A and B are shown apart, each in its own frame.
Chain A
Amino acid sequence: MKLVIKDLTKTYKNGVKATDNLNLEIGTGMFGLLGPNGAGKSSLMRTIATLQSPDSGSIMFGDINVLEDKMALRKVLGYLPQSFGVYPKMSAEALLDYFATLKGISSKSERQAIVKEVLDITNLYDVRKKHVAGYSGGMKQRFGIAQLLLNNPKLIIVDEPTAGLDPAERHRFLNVLREVGTNCTVIFSTHIVEDVKELCNDMAILNGGRILKQATPTQARMELQGQIWTKVIDRDDLEAHEAQYNILSSNYNEDNSLNIRVYSEAQPSEAFKSVEPQLDDVYFIALKQDEPVSAL
């Protein structure tokens, strides 16, 4: 099933355009939504998840008109917001059972089975009797995933899920996501390029409420083949280079020299070496091109 977003616009009361005439098509599989803080990722995801209404535009998921028939989408939706709370004095098991009820699972035995399974998947089975309110940040995040899985969702929306997870949990989480995402659409926002590289078969870069680029990660890298160059420079030379070249990133080496990466169709100079394009480069190029040209 395809998610098709057309001409979506949402302006907040304070005048900020959270989504600006946005168009996007998302197919089955993992879709990474990449963007810096404040890019409008969460707004877009909340809008898809029926939590807020846009000013104009349309969203279709398969043949569900999301804005008109929110209930139909909710039946196939799994959503994990960036931050969420839980009811105090309720155990994970009880709270998941509660959510399973909300999601329309009528049979008690089925509820018990699925609750057990999602607790297992999220490594929470041992603490299922404990109050969720007392969980650590990582555990709570896993609980969030657990509740999302309850209704075998067809559309999964997860908003910066890996933030705050330790490496082991992050891996586990990404694996789970990939596994459930094989047969459905998973939209997953992050500002960590690495996540997208590891997981997604499609991605988009979002900033200022607009899609800057949409491509598969491989394809996006391929496009840049032969256009990314690197050079080791002295720290003091950075400014001169910035003026001269389109620098995408600069990293310190151990000896306090800098490794810069430059975007250029042709080799900028002898000193530059061609390197394999990374997803980071794609990300930075997209953002750079979107930057307002400062008037001199």
Chain B
Amino acid sequence: MFSTIFSYELKYWLKRPATYIYMAIFFMLSLFMAATTAGIFDSITATTSSARIVNSPIGINNLFNGLTILIFFLFPSIIGASINRDFKSEMHSILYSYPFTKANYLFAKFFSAIVVVTLIVLTIGIGMFIGFRLPGTNSDLIIDFDIQSYFNAYWLFILPNILLFGAIVFAVVTFTRNIAAGFITVILLLFVQGVTDSLLSDPDSRYLAALMDPFGSSASDYYTRYWTVYEQNEMHIPIKEVILYNRLIWLGVASLVFGMVFKFFKFSQNALSFSFFKKKKGERSTKRNFGGITKINLPKVTKDYSFIQNLKATWKISNVEFKYIVKSWPFISIVLVGLIIVLVALADVGSTGTASYPRTWLMLRGGSAFVFAINICTFLYAGMLVNRSKIANINGLEDVTPIPNWSLFLSKFIAIVKMQILLLSVVMVAGILFQLYKGYFDIEIGLYIKELFGLKLINYVIWAFLALMIQTLIRNPYLGLFVLLVIVIGIPFLSLAGVEQAIFKYNEGSGFSYNDMNGYGDSLARYLTYKFYWVLGGLVLMLVAALFWVRGLPHSFKERIAIAKARFTTPVATAFIVLLAGFLTMGYTIYHGTNINNDRYSSKEVEELTVEWEKTYKQYENYAQPRIVAVKVNLDLFIDSRDFEASGEYAMINKTDKAIDSIFLNHNDYPSTFKFNRENTLVKEDTLYNFDIYRLKQPLMPGDSMTLDFTVKNKPNTLFVSNSPIIENGTFINNMQLFPSFGYNGGELTDDKTREKYGLPPNALKPLPSDSTALGNTYISKDSDWIDFEATVSTSKDQIAIAPGYLQKEWEADGRRYFHYKMDSKILNFYAFNSAEYKVKKDKWKDVNLEIYYHEGHEYNLESMMDGMKASLEYNTENFSPYQHKQLRIIEFPSGGFAQSFPNTIPFSGDVGFIAVVDDEDDEDEAGLNYMYAITVHEVAHQWWAHQVIGADVLGATMLSESLSEYVSLKVLEKELGKTQMRKFLKKSLDDYLFRRTFERKREKPLMYNDGQGYIHYQKGSLVFYALSDYIGEDVLNNALKTYVEKVKFQEPPYTTSIDMVNHLKAATPDSLQYVITDMFETITLYDNKIKTVSSTELDNGKYQVDIEFEVSKYRNDERGKQLFSEEGRDSISYLPEGKEKPILSLPLQDYIDIGVFTEHEVDGKMKEKQLYLKKHNITVIDNKVSIIVDEKPTEVGVDPYNILIDRNSGDNRQKL
């Protein structure tokens, strides 16, 4: 019987066109995705360059699994429908009396549907396989076909997931006899996965997350999270422990679910029903059987078919539809789960991991987590409403009433919009409740209303237009929803295929963002313009949908076309043409504004321009140029029109020993004028690259000087293009954005494969620090060393304008405010201007004036920032050298999530520190100490590490600035918090370093040769310097640095390099620890340290003996991340643990590693860790045993317990007793 039902079912699916439509969609989708990632569109868009092989095992696994998730949305209509069809057609009332067993029936239904799903999955695999190999894909990104990659992804992840989610959907549909229920289940499962993912994102809960993730992706991440590019390209996902446990757990759940279905399923007429209330007491009911009607006097009714009445009716119908949505439990469950997600998101707002005050705009940003819920509801209910009367089989009654089509159609639209408003209100209520819960009462109701029911609502309404059209055309709500999801997910990918402009992509366009200082800025007008454009486009779609609106019996496609033609009457055609014309005109206006009146380049063009730039001008790279020695500028900011006008004077000297005959003036495309004080001819003016060549009549002889006078202003801002960086409140611009420079300034393509394609030689990025000819420039500027600086900035009457230097004079003229700043010492040619309506907080550290310029209302952390400034000044002054200025200012700018250090001036973004919550009242030790504090210390440290010591423009230069500033930041924190508290900072840096290096696009070099990647100079740099201070001592390290600073600060070229600094460090390091410098600075070295076993016994004298067995091994990575266990002249050592097949390999060891023993102490009712023992042990072999005597009963031991070494599995460094 099983086989009969099974083959019948299969035949049914194979006969249905839907099956082939699904297959076709997935085939095309996977073909497109695979081919795109493999660079098939390189000829029409920018070159896809990557160090990653796209069809590596892990690449295939990710793409395959990612595409399969879309299939889950089909489960209700395939797996659910397999059994629901019998209910729907009422076939079950006959079928269930037939002589087959429950097992036969259920298994046949379920597995036939699984086979169908598997067939569709197969098309994904085939689509990917072909996609990777289509002619035109980039063969550098592709390796040979490896069936195992597909196979592993399939049987390890995809098949179990299909079984699990299939079983769940099958169960839900079987018991509710409702496809929608199955559908909602899928959405909820995806939501829930998102929530657990974010709840378990903490590194310590990764093991739990790996087991709990029903999709299994966290389980594979558990092993592959830190995989280097080499490993990603070469290795298969290991099929071991955590992955297997995860799969077994969830397969178990799947069988459990199916078992439940089997147990509770009955061949019965009615669905299983659950009731929360007791059944009402039964009542015998009879109806009136006598008393027939003989006389009927129906009251006369007046019928009104006017337009106004139809509008009223439309409203009334929309209310009925709206009630239906709100009462339906798919809606309720999506809202509830969405709400949980919003609350989770709200709890997480703020940047860089610190909590922020719940400002309303942050609540609104957190509310974006609801986007998916609103879109899903829109897409789903558009389908439900369009098909509602058909599904309820009430269309026979409804369609013969004299209500016009437009009224029915419009009512669905209005109901959807009402639903969207309700959902947006949920965001508002959630936000306000969260604010109140946090005891925060600065609730900006107006902002909530403006953003949610103004700006956001338009966006959703535009989606509603599309959804109604698709659902009207398709007439199957689930297929319609699926198509809509494919569209929404697919639109962003169009860029990869060369469709870059927003006007060609439905509902795309400029976005908007809000911050406290500048509000929505100028983003709003552009946003609304695009939205207006898409509203017109959406109305066109609505008209099309109305033409195809089905009234009466289902029509064939041909009939629908005929009906649509008949409905296309003159008034409709007029409206259609007007709307279409409006849409196209608007589109053209935008196109004109962004493309014709403005130079817009596609990424392909940008790539070609970059190539051309290098080919034309690289020849001048080493051409001698004069160097800027003094800068004097006037900058006028016109806040209302967001314009600027600037003029300035550069004083330059020929510092070379050659005569300079030509000046290469590199400027931006602002309207400018240039005037040298020496006679010259403009021999080449390049208006494309803005690179002009002036030939001097009289060459500039060595030691001679000249000046350049220039003016710069912006082109007027238009609705579509902002031509100036000035904003209404909180302008922050630097000199590189505005002013000219000299010589060829790089900016070349870096990917060697792309370069090869354009006939360019491979690119070394930067010279090695050992190249003594390359030390003429700092990495900040190529046309100057140290300069004198003076600036006059004017702004509107209510704003303060700031530039580096000290305020000489402030005055008002013509209703504008002027500020004259002058620097009294030499600075780098790197300065910024800020202007906003500021409040100022002042303080003093020794004789240095401290000032914070902040936005009114952002007073929360000023104290803590002041403390950070003082602590950093203190530490740097004490350990390295005096502070070069008499003043230090922090200046708030609106947003961006970063801070940047200019001479005596630190612009600091308002969203990163100013509204962070720093008062952790629960823990006094940590009060005021957080990332905001750390950033302050770091930026102040740059006044030394960048503004005193600046590296030459060679590899490793950023180690001298960023790594050292980060080191200072850690050391200041350590002073405040104590050493034991540093582990969480170090672990975070370690995790960030290990994770971010996996995204490396080109190569990873050792710290002292780094290419400027953040994960190396911040995260790894801080770990390395912190570890070194631990090994050789903070004083020793700082003394070495002090000597170094003495030697190189404010130096003229040749500039210092990382080699210079490392040599100083080496000199201070004992011979036994020289290997630390080799490992950490000169190579990429990783440890694999781990506690194996530990036991403790109480001794007679009351002390405890702790026996620890632990493993230590280390290896190097090459620049792709390949593990190397041996080096030239040094063979690897190995150790074979009992019961293992593969030995552990390591570089030869002569290392000193911390061994620590800890206990817990109660302090003020809280358990605090106490260190009983910490000592560096000399380690020479992989497997080690030690016995340690401690005074108290130990609770935990660790090898490298504070994670100062780089170790990809930092979790097993400690073990509890």
Contact of B298 (CB < 8 Å), options: A52, A111, A117, A144: A117
CA distance A89 to B289 in the complex (A): 27
CA distance A84 to B324 in the complex (A): 19
A287 proximal to B (CB < 8 A): no
Cβ A102 vs Cβ B553 within 8 A: no
Cβ A84 vs Cβ B394 within 8 A: yes
- Scan A36-76; emit 1 where CB is below 8 A from any B CB, else 0: 00000000001001111100000000000000000100110
CA distance A176 to B553 in the complex (A): 28
Pick out which of these stretches binds chain B: A22-30, A146-154, A260-268, A288-296.
A146-154
Number of A residues near B (Cβ < 8 Å) is 54
Asked if A98 meets B320 with Cβ closer than 8 Å, knowing A114-B301, A121-B296, A176-B293, the reply is yes
Cβ B301 vs Cβ A152 within 8 A: yes
Cβ B301 vs Cβ A85 within 8 A: no
Asked if A86 meets B392 with Cβ closer than 8 Å, knowing A51-B552, A99-B401, A104-B303, the reply is yes
Cβ B292 vs Cβ A104 within 8 A: no
Cβ A104 vs Cβ B402 within 8 A: yes
Asked if A102 meets B392 with Cβ closer than 8 Å, knowing A52-B552, A151-B303, A168-B289, the reply is no
Residue in A74, A75, A104 with the greatest tally of chain B CB atoms within 10 Å? A104
B-chain residues with CB within 8 Å of residue A152 when the two chains form the complex: 298, 300-301
A-chain residues with CB within 8 Å of residue B604 when the two chains form the complex: none
B404 proximal to A (CB < 8 A): yes
The minimal Cβ–Cβ distance linking A273 to chain B, given in whole angstroms, is 37
Contacts of B395-416 to chain A: CB distance below 8 A: 396-404
B-chain residues with CB within 8 Å of residue A110 when the two chains form the complex: 299, 301-302
Cβ A102 vs Cβ B552 within 8 A: no
B288 proximal to A (CB < 8 A): yes
CA distance A76 to B295 in the complex (A): 21
Cβ B388 vs Cβ A87 within 8 A: yes
Cβ A105 vs Cβ B301 within 8 A: yes
- Scan B519-562; emit 1 where CB is below 8 A from any A CB, else 0: 00000000000000000000000000000000111001001000
Asked if A180 meets B296 with Cβ closer than 8 Å, knowing A51-B553, A74-B400, A147-B397, the reply is yes
Which residue from chain B places its CB closest to the CB of A110 in the assembled complex?
B301
The minimal Cβ–Cβ distance linking A271 to chain B, given in whole angstroms, is 43
Asked if A104 meets B304 with Cβ closer than 8 Å, knowing A75-B402, A149-B298, the reply is yes
B-chain residues with CB within 8 Å of residue A114 when the two chains form the complex: 298-299, 301
Cβ B401 vs Cβ A103 within 8 A: yes
Contact of A85 (CB < 8 Å), options: B292, B294, B393, B401: B393
A107 proximal to B (CB < 8 A): yes
Cβ A101 vs Cβ B313 within 8 A: yes
Cβ B397 vs Cβ A168 within 8 A: no
A8 proximal to B (CB < 8 A): no
B317 proximal to A (CB < 8 A): yes
A88 proximal to B (CB < 8 A): yes
B-chain residues with CB within 8 Å of residue A101 when the two chains form the complex: 313, 316-317
B-chain residues with CB within 8 Å of residue A104 when the two chains form the complex: 303-305, 309, 313, 401-403
Which residue from chain B places its CB closest to the CB of A76 in the assembled complex?
B402
Asked if A105 meets B302 with Cβ closer than 8 Å, knowing A13-B556, A87-B388, the reply is yes
A-chain residues with CB within 8 Å of residue B298 when the two chains form the complex: 114, 117-118, 149, 152, 180
Contacts of A93-115 to chain B: CB distance below 8 A: 98-107, 110-111, 113-114
Cβ B301 vs Cβ A49 within 8 A: no
Which residue from chain A places its CB closest to the CB of B558 in the assembled complex?
A13
Which residue from chain A places its CB closest to the CB of B388 in the assembled complex?
A87
Contact of A102 (CB < 8 Å), options: B292, B295, B301, B317: B317
Q: Is the interface of B mostly helix, strand, loop or mixed?
A: loop
Cβ B393 vs Cβ A84 within 8 A: yes
A-chain residues with CB within 8 Å of residue B438 when the two chains form the complex: none
CA distance A114 to B298 in the complex (A): 7
B-chain residues with CB within 8 Å of residue A21 when the two chains form the complex: none
CA distance A34 to B403 in the complex (A): 31
CA distance A49 to B552 in the complex (A): 9
Cβ B292 vs Cβ A171 within 8 A: yes
Contacts of B278-327 to chain A: CB distance below 8 A: 287-290, 292-305, 309, 312-313, 316-317, 320, 324, 327
B-chain residues with CB within 8 Å of residue A117 when the two chains form the complex: 297-299
Interface magnitude class on chain B? 35 or more
CA distance A176 to B297 in the complex (A): 11
CA distance A111 to B403 in the complex (A): 16
Cβ A102 vs Cβ B403 within 8 A: yes
Contact of B317 (CB < 8 Å), options: A50, A98, A123: A98
The minimal Cβ–Cβ distance linking B441 to chain A, given in whole angstroms, is 41
CA distance A102 to B551 in the complex (A): 14
Cβ A75 vs Cβ B552 within 8 A: no
Cβ A175 vs Cβ B402 within 8 A: no
Contact of B401 (CB < 8 Å), options: A74, A88, A106, A168: A74
Cβ B399 vs Cβ A51 within 8 A: yes
Cβ A87 vs Cβ B394 within 8 A: yes
Which residue from chain A places its CB closest to the CB of B396 in the assembled complex?
A81
A-chain residues with CB within 8 Å of residue B398 when the two chains form the complex: 99, 102
The minimal Cβ–Cβ distance linking B672 to chain A, given in whole angstroms, is 68
Contact of A123 (CB < 8 Å), options: B287, B393, B552: B287
B-chain residues with CB within 8 Å of residue A103 when the two chains form the complex: 303, 401-403
Cβ A151 vs Cβ B294 within 8 A: no
CA distance A150 to B301 in the complex (A): 8
The minimal Cβ–Cβ distance linking B331 to chain A, given in whole angstroms, is 13
A283 proximal to B (CB < 8 A): no
Cβ A175 vs Cβ B304 within 8 A: no
Cβ B397 vs Cβ A74 within 8 A: no
The minimal Cβ–Cβ distance linking B496 to chain A, given in whole angstroms, is 42
CA distance A46 to B393 in the complex (A): 14
A-chain residues with CB within 8 Å of residue B394 when the two chains form the complex: 84-87
A-chain residues with CB within 8 Å of residue B292 when the two chains form the complex: 171-172, 175
Cβ B302 vs Cβ A106 within 8 A: yes
Cβ A79 vs Cβ B400 within 8 A: yes
CA distance A146 to B501 in the complex (A): 57
Cβ A179 vs Cβ B293 within 8 A: yes
CA distance A79 to B397 in the complex (A): 7
Cβ B397 vs Cβ A50 within 8 A: no
A-chain residues with CB within 8 Å of residue B396 when the two chains form the complex: 51, 79, 81, 84
Cβ A179 vs Cβ B294 within 8 A: yes
B-chain residues with CB within 8 Å of residue A106 when the two chains form the complex: 302-304, 309, 312
B-chain residues with CB within 8 Å of residue A46 when the two chains form the complex: 552-553
CA distance A78 to B402 in the complex (A): 11
A77 proximal to B (CB < 8 A): yes
- Scan B861-888; emit 1 where CB is below 8 A from any A CB, else 0: 0000000000000000000000000000
A269 proximal to B (CB < 8 A): no
The minimal Cβ–Cβ distance linking B283 to chain A, given in whole angstroms, is 13
CA distance A88 to B305 in the complex (A): 28
Contacts of A113-139 to chain B: CB distance below 8 A: 113-114, 117-118, 121, 123, 139
CA distance A106 to B300 in the complex (A): 13
A244 proximal to B (CB < 8 A): no
The minimal Cβ–Cβ distance linking A2 to chain B, given in whole angstroms, is 20
The minimal Cβ–Cβ distance linking A187 to chain B, given in whole angstroms, is 13
Residue in A49, A87, A114 with the greatest tally of chain B CB atoms within 10 Å? A87
Q: A102-B317, A147-B397, A150-B301 are in contact. List 17 more A-B contacts (CB 8 A).
A: A13-B556, A46-B553, A79-B397, A80-B397, A84-B394, A87-B320, A87-B324, A98-B317, A102-B403, A104-B403, A111-B301, A121-B296, A149-B298, A175-B292, A175-B293, A176-B296, A179-B295
Binding site for B on A (CB under 8 A): 13, 46, 49-53, 71, 74-75, 77, 79-81, 83-90, 98-107, 110-111, 113-114, 117-118, 121, 123, 139, 144, 147, 149-152, 168, 171-172, 175-176, 179-180
- Subset of 25 A-B contacts with CB under 8 Å: A46-B552, A50-B552, A71-B404, A74-B401, A75-B402, A77-B400, A79-B396, A79-B397, A80-B397, A84-B394, A85-B392, A88-B392, A98-B316, A99-B397, A101-B313, A104-B305, A105-B302, A105-B304, A107-B302, A149-B298, A151-B401, A168-B290, A172-B292, A179-B294, A180-B296
Query: Closest 10 interchain pairs by CB?
Result: A85-B393, A81-B396, A51-B552, A102-B401, A74-B402, A106-B304, A104-B303, A75-B402, A168-B289, A179-B296
